[in-house]
Structure 1
């Protein structure tokens, strides 16, 4: 760049840095951090609560980069908020968004601190996805007909049901028990629709 002068306030980034700023989007549900009994209830393959919690943090960070977005579809943790939960959540990579689950409290200061947005659902029309905690009624997924008369529907990506199968139709469960305790890339959800 010999001879080229940039203004002092110029915001030009080197090419390699621009590429590394790309964001992936990941989805996961029902981590139930700090929930000892979930190991037995859902036959989770962990020796203890601590083993489960830190293994899920490790698996999360193995795929999620710091600049990525992660949609957690509810039931983040169980029990009293405190230092242990803060420590876990602070170690999770990514810009976290929460779709509230039945065990989450939207007024919880820990959740508000570690999740940039908290909603009851999130739609991605560009991917044909509706993210919820509980599977929604099939009628909520219907989007009319194409010019060729084919039905258009959204895929309901959900949590809540743990080891149980999703309802028949356009549903995909991302509870940790069904996704190897590791967030799923949004492109994989679109492909399986």
Structure 2
């Protein structure tokens, strides 16, 4: 294996979540030996270097290309099954961004004269199957059983218990299929991810990683709990607009919205793939409170739509109230402590449109005909609860969906009007500064 190399993007903020998903599938279906333990997106390889080609040449080649790219966004999508080089593969398909396609093609053109690739797609990058492997080296019959069960879920209704995550959905689904114990499955989710580093593997070890933000190779501590990784995450948050560093208050008369801050809640970081180191609630709270205050003056009207804080590391809500600027109104969520001062829902009007602000959209009054602005679902079911669901008149302002910065209701109204003019009913998945 020492002569085999692989160029890949390791998962960052979604890594722990995808590992749980893979472990749930592997454990329940008894295919643990086939589990992919280090989920990644392959860019080129596996490959061998041609005679006379050195590792440094390969790194120099990749580095010269990578220097022209910023962090690479992509989306983890539905499960797929294909036949690989060594048996069947169950994987999460990847929706590649244009920058991912360009990076892959440039690396393929540069490395093809220097290496002998074992991957047929490397010779035809325009036909590449972008994916993150969940399990491989499977017998076809086993893979087909698992994949059939996963496909069944796509037509199933969401469970009554909305607190299930993807991990519990996978486990319940496969238990139903393999052990015939039925519990309603949850639909697969879309997960946004961003490649922050390009990793070059040599056998089973990391040779080096190119940091797309620092524009340099890293060969030291590459763990995702290191201080160096925290520096990368901080640069990423600021680059993506997830961490504001200067005030940008809302226009007078506008209204700001956000839900599900979950301040002090350590488990929310892996559960919702937040761009922070595991367990680092101090940094998370600092960033989320800082973003809120950067958008608010003393008179800015802002609504927090449930689940302000949670968990043993959280401060009392009253302490957070004192840290948050603006003319704030807090609506109760399922994780908030009982408080008669928190309304279950609120009706407002803005720019001629009617809105109901409620944490869980299922709790909105049935006879309400306007738009429901909610949280609760985070980024756990973007197929059913995207940022703007035109068809069902729902708007999801969970922190993860709106880029961790309070959203402008005037901007939302403008998007709704634009969609009405063009007749477009396609959902707007997320409200990130770098996503149109």
Instruction: Tell me the TM-score normalised to structure 1 length.
Output: 0.70
1:65 aligns to what? 297
Residues 138 and 86 of structure 1, relative CA distance in 2, 3 Å threshold: closer
Say which SS state the counterpart of residue 353 (structure 2) adopts.
coil
User: Is the counterpart of residue 95 in structure 1 residue 318 in structure 2?
Assistant: no
- 1:106 to partner: Cα distance: 3.3
Alignment check: 8 A CA contact 1:141 1:155 kept: no
2:411 aligns to what? 188
RMSD across aligned positions (CA) = 2.7
Question: In 1, distance between residues paired with 2:397 and 2:367?
Answer: 17
Question: In 2, distance between residues paired with 1:172 and 1:160?
Answer: 11
- 1:23 to partner: Cα distance: 4.7
Alignment check: 8 A CA contact 2:263 2:314 kept: no
How many residues align? The count is 155
1:132 aligns to what? 358
Residue segments in structure 2 that go unaligned for 5+ positions in a row: 1-251, 417-436
Residues 74 and 139 of structure 1, relative CA distance in 2, 3 Å threshold: closer
1:77 aligns to what? 309
Say which SS state the counterpart of residue 43 (structure 1) adopts.
coil
Question: In 2, distance between residues paired with 1:118 and 1:23?
Answer: 23
Residues 122 and 59 of structure 1, relative CA distance in 2, 3 Å threshold: same
Residues 122 and 42 of structure 1, relative CA distance in 2, 3 Å threshold: same
Residues 100 and 88 of structure 1, relative CA distance in 2, 3 Å threshold: closer
2:373 aligns to what? 157
Pick the structure with more strand per residue. Answer: 2
Superimposed CA distance per residue, residues 67-109 of structure 1 (whole angstroms, 9 cap, x where no aligned partner): 11211000000135975755443221112111110011232xx
- 1:192 to partner: Cα distance: 2.9
> Which of 266, 273, 295 is matched with 1:43 structurally?
273
Residues 137 and 120 of structure 1, relative CA distance in 2, 3 Å threshold: closer
Residue segments in structure 1 that go unaligned for 5+ positions in a row: 1-21, 143-152
Question: In 2, distance between residues paired with 1:95 and 1:81?
Answer: 26
Say which SS state the counterpart of residue 330 (structure 2) adopts.
strand
| Greater RCO (Cα-Cα under 8 Å, separation 6 or more) | 1
Q: Which has more radius of gyration?
A: 2
